[in-house]
Chains A and B, each alone.
Chain A
Amino acid sequence: MKGVLRKIFHEVRWPVLFFSVGLAIIMALLTALLPKVLGDIDKVFEKLPFIKPIITALLGMDPGDGFTAQMMQAFLWVHPTVLSIIWAHELMYCSRMPAAEVDRGSIDFLLGLPISRWRLYLAETIGWLISGATIICVGVSGHLIASSMLQPQMRPGAFAIFCVVANLFAVYLAVGGISFLVSASSDRRGRAIGIMFAILLVSFLLNFLAQFWQPAKQVSFLSVMEYYRPAAVIQSGSFPWFDVGTLCGIAFVAWLSAGIVFRRRSICTV
């Protein structure tokens, strides 16, 4: 497995570095700028009432009449740029094995070596977990550096940040697990990424529509975003066991299914 891990490292080290640094910069900027941008959010709500459902959808809860400083920081964790960077890495990474390998034909080289498909898949999984943890940790460090420059009452507590990061990583696991499953069933990387992008978009829209459309609310449990509510976590200060558990459950089932599909399927590159 060491050889496969070395190959993965060769392939993903630069993208992971770029995504990590990018996320750190974005999170630092958002941490510093959000209080200024959202300072007059009540007036924005009055002038542009349609903004409120968008913010509500992004936060996963109704911010109520007043935005606290810490609630503003919650907006950072659901900002589309932050989620986009994490998911872009995830879609690129999880579509590598086997979809991209089959697509470019290089899987013949890998499968010609004495390593089982399960081991290949485990090596990819290790790379996925480490790269995801790296990107999120470096991103969080950007946030922490920037928040150290804010007034103390504007910073969420360390435990709250830990809970939100855990919730975000659980989302990363769930999205990655589903991406692996789509990739394992596909021979084309573009198709796998397209399907995953559509799933994420529907998930995002469902979560958004559920705020003001009853039919969407009834099926919003299908959206992974339903289980990611940083504002509620920061407000309550308690660990989101149910959300994290649900996301980890989705991740495990999807990841295991992907492994089984990859183990059993015929690989055709010609």
Chain B
Amino acid sequence: MSVICTENLCKSYGSRRGVGDVSLSVEAGEMFGFLGPNGAGKSTTIRMLMGFLKASSGTATILGRDCWAASDLVKEHVGYVAGDVRLYSWLTARKAFQIVGEIRRTDVAEAGLKLAERFQLEVDLPVRKMSRGNRQKVALVLALAHRPRVMILDEPTSGLDPLMQDTLTECLRELAANGSTVFFSSHTLSEVDALCDRVAIVRDGQIVADEHLSTMKHQAPRSAVLTFRSEQAAKAVVVPDFVRLASANAETLVLELVGSAVELTKWAATQAITDIAIGQPNLETLFRGYYNVPMPTAQRLDSDEADFGLSGYPGTELKSVEQL
């Protein structure tokens, strides 16, 4: 049985659609990434899972229980961290352990204090004196303290410094290793890449991809930079169908490899090249491809990620360099 399951989940705000037809299934022990840009519908989906919003249609269940009708029972096993944590100004972490412990009918103080130490959180500092990052830490500690079977995080790293992001990653890995399920929403691909086993990409309120990261990496394009002996040689090249031309600069061609590297090297061996460099699979390109967002030109040409340009991606007709 899936731990988190949604079927044809929809949420409309009058004539505006927040989420349309979201079907997901997340298993026990899985670290699931929910990826999409701002306004794609990630938070709306999470708020329906948490029972904050009532779905216009479709169903959402956690541990077999309806997220709206049995919301309080569901949340006995759920830890939740909102993206923009807003707490009571008078609240300290220590007081929060007491209040949350009484509501959860379990002592969370001991585990909470240990977590606070890991996150370097002052437990007697009131929220009104805390930075945004520290407020985020309070929410994380409170969500983790009762060792939830399901952890739902809505862009939890905003406000956390890189060291604390690493601590969070560690905690979530430990949780998943003990059989808990992690549902991690983000608009940053790198943190999902570093943490999750499986990723769903949401666009305009709909799931456009739901794959294991390893599968996605196979689908992700790689860059290949070919340096020809001369500019003329580079211009005369007709690119084969397993590569796409990303950019051309004098005697250098940046290609996007959609076939295997073996094919490319075989083909490259027949060309008048002086050098060849093949990059790693790049999820960023794939992710942007789902949104039809081109990589910024400067990034394409100057940075490592520059190699994974999206010119003509996806579905652009191939042309020779001369035609370009």
Min CB gap B7→A, angstroms: 19
Residue of B nearest to A102 (CB): B52
**Does A6 interact with chain B (Cβ within 8 Å)?**
yes
**In the complex, which of the residues A6, A106, A114, A270 contacts B75, with contact meaning CB atoms closer than 8 Å?**
A114
Residues of B within 8 A of A6 (CB): 98-99, 102
Given contact pairs A114-B75, A266-B52, A106 touches B98 in the complex (Cβ within 8 A): no
Residue pair A114, B86 in contact (C-beta under 8 Å): no
**In the complex, which of the residues A109, A116, A264, A267 contacts B72, with contact meaning CB atoms closer than 8 Å?**
A116
**Does B32 interact with chain A (Cβ within 8 Å)?**
no
**Does A113 interact with chain B (Cβ within 8 Å)?**
yes
Residue pair A2, B139 in contact (C-beta under 8 Å): no
Min CB gap A2→B, angstroms: 5
**Does A112 interact with chain B (Cβ within 8 Å)?**
yes
**Does A190 interact with chain B (Cβ within 8 Å)?**
no
Residue pair B52, A111 in contact (C-beta under 8 Å): yes
**In the complex, which of the residues B51, B80, B100, B139 contacts A3, with contact meaning CB atoms closer than 8 Å?**
B100
Residues of B within 8 A of A109 (CB): 82, 85-88, 139
Return the CB mask of B93-121 against A: 1 if under 8 Å, else 0.
00100111111100000000000000000
Min CB gap A143→B, angstroms: 33
Residues of A within 8 A of B177 (CB): none
Residue of B nearest to A3 (CB): B102
Give the total of A residues in contact with B, Cβ under 8 Å.
27
**Does B71 interact with chain A (Cβ within 8 Å)?**
yes
Min CB gap A213→B, angstroms: 42
**Does B288 interact with chain A (Cβ within 8 Å)?**
no
**Does A42 interact with chain B (Cβ within 8 Å)?**
no
Determine which residue in A11, A109, A115, A269 has the highest number of CB atoms from chain B within 10 A of its CB, and name it: A109
CA distance A270 to B83 in the complex (A): 10
Determine which residue in A4, A105, A264, A266 has the highest number of CB atoms from chain B within 10 A of its CB, and name it: A266
Give the total of B residues in contact with A, Cβ under 8 Å.
32
**Does A268 interact with chain B (Cβ within 8 Å)?**
yes
Min CB gap A64→B, angstroms: 52
CA distance A34 to B41 in the complex (A): 63
Residues of A within 8 A of B86 (CB): 104-106, 108-109, 269
CA distance A112 to B67 in the complex (A): 12
**Does A36 interact with chain B (Cβ within 8 Å)?**
no
CA distance A267 to B103 in the complex (A): 20
Residues of B within 8 A of A106 (CB): 86-88
Min CB gap A247→B, angstroms: 33
Residues of A within 8 A of B82 (CB): 105, 108-109, 112
**Does A47 interact with chain B (Cβ within 8 Å)?**
no
Min CB gap A114→B, angstroms: 4
CA distance A181 to B95 in the complex (A): 30
Determine which residue in B50, B53, B88, B139 has the highest number of CB atoms from chain A within 10 A of its CB, and name it: B88
**Does B84 interact with chain A (Cβ within 8 Å)?**
yes
**Does A10 interact with chain B (Cβ within 8 Å)?**
yes
**Does B170 interact with chain A (Cβ within 8 Å)?**
no
CA distance A2 to B72 in the complex (A): 15
CA distance A105 to B154 in the complex (A): 14
Min CB gap B89→A, angstroms: 9
CA distance A52 to B282 in the complex (A): 84
Residue pair A114, B50 in contact (C-beta under 8 Å): no
Which residues in chain A, 217-270, are within 8 Å of chain B measured between CB atoms?
264-270
CA distance A48 to B91 in the complex (A): 55
Residue of A nearest to B90 (CB): A10
**Does B76 interact with chain A (Cβ within 8 Å)?**
yes
**Does B187 interact with chain A (Cβ within 8 Å)?**
no
**Does B54 interact with chain A (Cβ within 8 Å)?**
yes
Which residues in chain A, 9-66, are within 8 Å of chain B measured between CB atoms?
10-11
**Does B73 interact with chain A (Cβ within 8 Å)?**
yes
**Does B43 interact with chain A (Cβ within 8 Å)?**
yes
Residue of A nearest to B152 (CB): A112
Top 8 nearest A-B pairs (CB, nearest first) are: A3-B102, A105-B86, A3-B103, A112-B80, A116-B72, A114-B75, A114-B76, A3-B99
Q: What are 14 A-B residue pairs whose CB atoms fall within 8 Å in the complex?
A: A2-B102, A2-B103, A4-B99, A7-B88, A10-B90, A104-B86, A108-B80, A109-B86, A111-B52, A112-B82, A265-B54, A266-B52, A266-B54, A269-B86
